[in-house]
Amino acid sequence: MKLTRRSFIQLSAATTWLLAAGCSTGPVKPASAALIPRKSNGGSPAKGEWIASTCQGCTQWCAIQIYVQDGRGVRVRGNPLSKTNHGYCCPRGHLITQQVYDPDRIKVPMKRTNPQKGRGVDPKFVPISWDEALDTVAEKMMELRRANETHKLLYMRGRYSSTSTELLYGTLPKVFGTGNYFSHSALCAEAEKMGPGLTQGFFGYRDYDLPKTQCLVLWGTDPLASNRMVPNTIHYFHEILARGSVIAVDPRLSNVAAKAHEWLPIKPGADGALACAIAHVLLTEGLWNKEFVGDFKSFWGGFKAGQTVGEDEFVEKETFGLIKWWNLELKDRTPAWAEKETLIPAEQIVRVAKMMGKAAPKTAVWMGPGAAMTPRGTYSAMAVHALNGILGSIDVEGGVWQSSSAPVTAFPKADAYVDDLAKTASKGKKLDGRGAKDMPAMMNAQPGSGVVTNNVANGLLKDPGAVKVFLSSWSNFNFSATGALRWDAVMAKVPFFVHMVTNASEMTQFADIVLPATFNAAEGWSVVSNMGNGHGYVSIQQGAVKRLWDVKQEESEVMWLLAEKLKQKGFSNLFDYYSKEFKDPETGKTATSALEFAIITTKISSSAIWKPKEPLKGDAPIKSWDDFRAKGMFSGPKYSLKKGWGGKFATATKKFEFYSETAKKGLLAHAKKYETTVDDILTVSGYVARGDLAFVPHYEPPKRNGSVSEYPFDFIDYKSRLNREGRSANTAWYQEFKKVDPGDVSWDDVLKMHPSDGAKLGLKSGDRVKITSPAGSIVTRLKLWEGVRPGTVTKCYGQGHWAYGRVAAKDYGKAPRGGNNNEILVDDYDRLSGATARNGGFTGVRVEKVAA
């Protein structure tokens, strides 16, 4: 492996492609014509083939195909076999070609030569070989092992590719010996899972029977543009509009709100009040679903505003605690009361509730982060999701389903390779503060089990010596995390930071070693699984295009090479594990190179599909690995209804819980750990509920950072239709088409304000304005827009990069294009889940004109 850098690059570029195309695994076969119902137009008259892959531009993880000509990817479409995207990708899928060929990608490993670190400080990166880069990383890691302080290794992942992430996130910390490994999921949408979790025992993302839904309620989400299942929503949305009703609950005129029959521009953070008022109307109007919820024993029974009901008067069927919920919370939640909290007219609340009730159970309430990723979001997520319970739409035709899955083979166990040092070191206290008295983080109703991603920065600010070596991949917390400036402060102090990414974005500016990553959707190897439209599926990533630069997949290839280096330096456990346990399911052979290792792991994960022990239900059988590569995906059978009915919900009572014994169990356990009461836990964690209210969905008034007098506007953040999470802003198409986001303009970043507020402040469209919150301030352009209510301002997330590349930043490394919302959004949490708040107007801002 002694090569000059130049010959190394040439060699690796050539062999990479040869290996990817040939290797021991056979050539990539194009999907056969019979599989392709649509006419396959190439990008040009030149010959090419559609190669299956998986898009990871959002969490739908669509099965796609890339049209490849002579190794170069030129077009993208949905995999025609997909039952979830129907052969189409959303607009972001098409950005893949620009992202993979982004001229600003990191092309070779680099090391920092400027010891000083900070925002705007030039790292003075110089190119180095992979050999030198990994040698340096391994040496730093070995110093930790020699000093018995392996827990001072921190690994944080941002986005990741389904199965291969296990080799990094799952096994590196375990075998090396650190408990300090964290996923980005608490920045993502964890609070949302608490809604179905604490009522239904299902802590996951839901599926919706869009082909059969009569009434679709889009609550705090805009799935024509973001959230999950965008292509499926685009596919069915017009049909639902034509045959039934669509209701959007969003403080901003989103894409779905613009097309919906009813738009409820709710006061930010007041979702719990609206949900409870709708529940109140459904009950007082007799519109609850009798088959799911049950009924009064006597003909004379009924729900009357302000009046309690005796628990023995009502017999529930699939649910638990309806009467407790009514008595504790709902009886006083009248539409007139809710109008004051939500600013939605009482008559509209009644009208919408009746629409929902009449279409039930074919009413699907699609709850998204807008109602959940807020400081008290657990309870509003519960309240919004519980409407599905009242409507009986849980697990029925036209309703809301739990997820489906298709099989994936687990990797061999690593336990035998975990030594005593690693075992002891992994048990230490975690840097994210999960399970602290004021941070119950009770994912799956288990206190202390949820990750608190954004709190790692606070942990490090308090104890800068806690980490000596920090590895991170596919992440950009200096941009993507609220209170982003904290990350600038933290990262400037980390002694040794290794970033494994495609682009030198904000977080990379603090790196000591930069390892150029494959752009996984086009260049990586992995098996990705997800579900949608009633089917679970698995889909392949198989290095569809030729790699132009000296990049490696961090989750597999880099792990192999790093393990090799650690072995050379005296710690062989990781390499022994990878090289002995991972066997090609076809040939039984173990890997001899990094890329072979990546391919073998992909084969292992997918072998459940092409080498099943029992015939699989679902798509036609996949006959072999080659067949799987050609087709690229496999979908399981259609969702079977009423999964949880008949006492099979995974809750404490096995019923759908309107009174959550599940939440109670978790909260009592947490209180016991601190020898205190649930009331005390809720107080220190920032919730207002006391007593039994803690266990039912209820209204918690919005928590706001910043006083109304100093910061008069509620700030609303949302995702761009073109954001591939934080990763597409450096493509010209992103900038050029930015105007597709309602109210936005191309190549710019506008703060939108209601014209009446503009008039009051003497501001007009085009003015440069400073937006200031308790966390900081950013400068951008103003646009007066009717799509937001007075008192609320909104700006899309995604712009404001000061690094990332020459398109995204105005002046790379120095000046941003627009402003990053995360520099003004306050670092705050829904502490019951540990999720970071970004919605619900929890940050107050003021807006002032500055010189143009």
Ligand X SMILES: Nc1nc2c(c(=O)[nH]1)N[C@H]1C(S)=C(S)[C@@H](COP(=O)(O)OP(=O)(O)OC[C@H]3O[C@@H](n4cnc5c(=O)[nH]c(N)nc54)[C@H](O)[C@@H]3O)O[C@H]1N2
Answer whether 263's CB lies under 8 Å from 253's CB.
Answer: yes
Residue 373, amino acid: M
Burial of 268 from C-beta contacts in 10 A (0-12 / 13-18 / 19+): buried
- What separation in angstroms does the CA of 36 have from each of 40, 82, 86, 131? 8, 11, 11, 44
Q: Choose one: 26-34, 115-123, 334-342, 368-376; the region binding ligand X (CB under 6 A).
A: 368-376
- Residue 271 binds to ligand X (criterion: CB under 6 A): yes
Beta-bridge partner residues of 111: 126, 513
From the list ligand X, Mo ion, ligand SF4, none, which binds 819 (C-beta under 5 to 8 Å, kind-based)? none
Minimum CB–partner distance for residue 719 and Mo ion (Å)? 9
Q: Which is nearer to ligand X, 151 or 159 (CB)?
A: 159
From the list ligand SF4, ligand X, Mo ion, none, which binds 62 (C-beta under 5 to 8 Å, kind-based)? ligand SF4
Structure tokens at 178: 């650190």
d(CA 439, CA 186): 13
- Residue 503 binds to ligand X (criterion: CB under 6 A): yes
Which of 134, 396, 500, 558 touches ligand X by CB under 6 A? 500
Q: Measuring CA to CA, which residue among 300, 299, 320, 324 is closest to residue 310?
A: 324
Residue spans of alpha helices (H) in 52-156? 96-100, 130-146
Q: Which is nearer to Mo ion, 158 or 702 (CB)?
A: 158
Minimum CB–partner distance for residue 835 and ligand X (Å)? 10
d(CA 440, CA 273): 24
- Residue 230 binds to Mo ion (criterion: CB under 5 A): no
Q: Which is nearer to Mo ion, 443 or 788 (CB)?
A: 443
- CA 56 to chain centroid, in Å, comes to 11
Question: DSSP assignment, residue 458?
Answer: H
Which of 373, 382, 457, 763 touches ligand X by CB under 6 A? 373
Minimum CB–partner distance for residue 128 and ligand X (Å)? 18
List the strands of the sheet with 215-219, edge to edge: 262-264, 245-249, 215-219, 363-367
Which of 314, 326, 411, 519 touches ligand X by CB under 6 A? 519
Residue 464, amino acid: P
Cβ atoms within 10 Å, residue 200: 29
Window 745-774: residues binding ligand X (CB under 6 A)? none
Q: Which is nearer to Mo ion, 89 or 835 (CB)?
A: 835
From the list Mo ion, ligand X, ligand SF4, none, which binds 371 (C-beta under 5 to 8 Å, kind-based)? ligand X
Which of 141, 371, 574, 779 touches ligand X by CB under 6 A? 371
- State the number of binding residues for ligand X (CB under 6 A): 63
From the list ligand SF4, ligand X, Mo ion, none, which binds 89 (C-beta under 5 to 8 Å, kind-based)? ligand SF4
Question: What does the buried/exposed string (b/e) look like for 230-254 if buried means 16 or more CB atoms within 10 Å of the residue's CB?
Answer: bbbbbbbbeebeeebbbbbbbbbbb
d(CA 825, CA 687): 20
- State the number of binding residues for Mo ion (CB under 5 A): 1
Minimum CB–partner distance for residue 236 and Mo ion (Å)? 23
Minimum CB–partner distance for residue 78 and ligand SF4 (Å)? 7
Q: Which is nearer to Mo ion, 539 or 723 (CB)?
A: 723
Answer whether 766's CB lies under 8 Å from 782's CB.
Answer: yes
d(CA 284, CA 288): 9
Minimum CB–partner distance for residue 160 and ligand SF4 (Å)? 14
From the list ligand X, Mo ion, ligand SF4, none, which binds 500 (C-beta under 5 to 8 Å, kind-based)? ligand X
Question: DSSP assignment, residue 470?
Answer: E
Q: Choose one: 180-188, 254-262, 298-306, 423-431; the region binding Mo ion (CB under 5 A).
A: 180-188
From the list ligand X, Mo ion, ligand SF4, none, which binds 251 (C-beta under 5 to 8 Å, kind-based)? ligand X
Cβ atoms within 10 Å, residue 448: 20
Minimum CB–partner distance for residue 466 and ligand X (Å)? 21
Minimum CB–partner distance for residue 725 and ligand SF4 (Å)? 9
- Residue 269 binds to ligand X (criterion: CB under 6 A): yes
Q: What count of Cα atoms within 13 Å lies in the side-chain half-sphere of residue 357?
A: 19
From the list ligand X, Mo ion, ligand SF4, none, which binds 61 (C-beta under 5 to 8 Å, kind-based)? ligand SF4
Q: Which is nearer to ligand SF4, 54 or 601 (CB)?
A: 54
Structure tokens at 378: 């657990």
Which residues of this chain interact with ligand SF4, rule CB under 6 A? 55, 57-58, 60-62, 89-90, 92-93, 230-231, 724
From the list ligand X, ligand SF4, Mo ion, none, which binds 293 (C-beta under 5 to 8 Å, kind-based)? none
Window 716-735: residues binding ligand X (CB under 6 A)? 716-721, 723, 725-727
d(CA 574, CA 147): 19
- What separation in angstroms does the CA of 787 have from each of 156, 220, 496, 749? 38, 15, 46, 16
Q: Which is nearer to Mo ion, 328 or 441 (CB)?
A: 441
Window 218-257: residues binding ligand X (CB under 6 A)? 219-222, 225-227, 249-252, 254
- Residue 188 binds to Mo ion (criterion: CB under 5 A): yes
From the list ligand SF4, ligand X, Mo ion, none, which binds 797 (C-beta under 5 to 8 Å, kind-based)? ligand X
Residue spans of alpha helices (H) in 61-171? 96-100, 130-146
Structure tokens at 444: 């799956």
d(CA 626, CA 635): 17
What kind and span of H or E run contains 750? strand 750-753
Minimum CB–partner distance for residue 184 and Mo ion (Å)? 7
Q: Which is nearer to ligand SF4, 129 or 227 (CB)?
A: 227
d(CA 815, CA 831): 34
Which of 520, 539, 541, 772 touches ligand X by CB under 6 A? 520
Q: Which is nearer to ligand X, 188 or 293 (CB)?
A: 188
d(CA 282, CA 303): 10
Minimum CB–partner distance for residue 64 and ligand X (Å)? 14
**Per-residue mark of binding to ligand X, 157-176 (x: CB under 6 A):** -xx-----------------
Structure tokens at 406: 């298709």
d(CA 776, CA 794): 16
Kindly give the interhelix angle for 455-462 and 484-491, rounded to the nearest 10 degrees: 40
d(CA 837, CA 375): 6
> How many residues are given for the chain?
852
Q: Which residues contact Mo ion (rule: CB under 5 A)? A: 188
Q: Which residues contact ligand X (rule: CB under 6 A)? A: 58-59, 92, 158-159, 184, 187-189, 219-222, 225-227, 249-252, 254, 266, 268-269, 271, 368-371, 373, 473-477, 480, 500-503, 505, 517, 519-520, 554, 716-721, 723, 725-727, 797, 821-822, 825, 838-841
